Amino acid sequence: DLPLIRVVAAPNVGYHSQLERNITARLDMLDMGLPILTMLIGLIQEEFQLVCEDITLESRRKQEIKESNEAHQRAVEDEMASIESCARKTHMISSQFGIKIEKGEIIIDRKSRFLAHIAPVSSISQVEDVVAELSSNKWLASAAHPAIYAYRFIDQNGRLSQDAEDDGEDGASKKMLFLLEQCNVLGYVLIVTRWFGGILLGPDRFKRILECSRQVLKQSSVIDS
C-alpha cells in the first residue's frame, strides 16, 4: 500500500494545501522497491520548490493587478478632481437647450458630497432636458445618485404639474418636493447629486439633501429664507 502523506507545517495555507495535493498525486509514481524515505524526501523537496515558485508568481501577479487598479483609481480621482475644480469656478451653466441652470455649493458629510442645481421650467420636456444635461456631465455622472430631482410648474393649460424622482435614493425626492410645496416654489426643477463617501449616513443623508436644496434656492433668490 502507498503511504498516507500529511503536511503538518507550511509557511501558509496556500503552501500547505497545494503541497499536500501534489505529493499525494505523485505517490503512485514511486518505485516501492527502493528505500521509500529517500524517495519521499526528494519528491517533497521537488514539489516544495515548484509550489513555492507557483505561489510566488501568483502573489506577484496579484500585486501587479492591485498596483494597476490603484493607479487607475488615482487617475480617475485626479480627473474627477480636475473636473470638480473647474465646476466650482462657476455657479451658472448654460444649457444646450437654452435653459440657465444654477449650481449651489457642495456640502460634505463623512466623505459623502451633496450638490444641488436649480433651473426654471414650464414643461415636462424642459425638466427632461435639464436632467439630461446634468446627467451627461462626467463629474456629476460619476456620483452614486447623479440626479435626484423634484419639480413644480403651472402648464400651458393652467394646471399644476409636479413630480419627483429618487434616482436610487429612496424617499429623497419626495422630501425635496415637499420642500418646494412648503416654500410655494413654482416654475422650477430642483436636482440634487450625491457622491457616496463609503460611510452610511442613515437619516442624516436626507438632512444634507434638504440642506443643499435650501442653499441653492436661497442662492438663486427663489426663496428669501
The string of pLDDT tens digits covering residues 192-216 is: 999 998 889 999 999 999 999 999 9
Closest by CA to 105, choosing from 118, 96, 95, 121, is: 118
Among 39-43, 91-95, 206-210, which range has the highest average pLDDT?
A: 206-210
Q: How confident is the model at residue 100 (pLDDT cuts 50, 70, 90)?
A: confident
Q: How many CB atoms lie within 10 A of CB 154?
A: 13
Q: Which residue has the higher pLDDT, 116 or 65?
A: 116
Q: Once rounded to an integer, what is the mean pLDDT over residues 56-71?
A: 82
Q: Is the pTM of this model over 0.75?
A: no
pLDDT of residue 145: 94
- Tell which wins on pLDDT, 201 or 28: 201
What average pLDDT does range 151-180 have in this prediction?
94
Reported as a pLDDT band with limits 50, 70 and 90, residue 63 is: confident
